[in-house]
Structure 1
Amino acid sequence: MNDASDFATRAAAFWRERGGRMTPVREVLCRAIVSSEKAFVAEELLERARKLDRGISCASVYRALSDLVDAGLLREIRGERDQRSFVAAGLPQAPVGHVVCSDCRRVIPLEDECVPLREAAMLKRMGFAAGGMHLRIEASCESMKRCGTCENQAASTGTE
Structure 2
Amino acid sequence: MSDDLAARLREQGLRLTPQRELILRAVEELRHATPDEVLAHVRGQVSSVNASTVYRTLEVLEELGLVRHTHLSDRAPTYHSTREHEHIHVVCRGCGSVRSYDPEIVASLVAALGEDGFSVDVGHLAIFGTCADCSAAGS
- 1:58 counterpart = 2:51: yes
Q: Distance in 2 between matches of 1:69 and 1:81?
A: 20
Gapped regions of structure 2 (runs ≥ 5): 116-120
Please point out which of 17, 23, 34 is paired with 1:23.
17
Q: Do the aligned residues in 1 keep the contact of 2:27 with 2:79 (CA within 8 Å)?
A: no
- 1:139 counterpart = 2:133: no
Which residue number corresponds to residue 108 of structure 1?
A: 98
Which residue number corresponds to residue 70 of structure 1?
A: 63
Q: Distance in 2 between matches of 1:74 and 1:57?
A: 19
- 1:96 counterpart = 2:87: yes
Q: For residues 105 and 86 of structure 1, do their structure 2 counterparts lie closer, same or farther at Cα, with a shift above 3 Å needed?
A: farther
* Cα deviation code 1:134-154 (max 9, x no counterpart): 26242333756x938xxxxxx
* Cα deviation code 1:2-37 (max 9, x no counterpart): xxx2xx32222222122110012112222222222x
- Give the total of aligned pairs: 131
Report percent identity of matched pairs. 22
Aligned-pair CA distance for 1:107: 6.2
Q: Distance in 2 between matches of 1:109 and 1:95?
A: 13
Please point out which of 6, 14, 19 is paired with 1:12.
6
Q: Secondary structure at the match of 1:32?
A: helix
TM-score by length of 2: 0.71
Q: Do the aligned residues in 2 keep the contact of 1:81 with 1:105 (CA within 8 Å)?
A: no
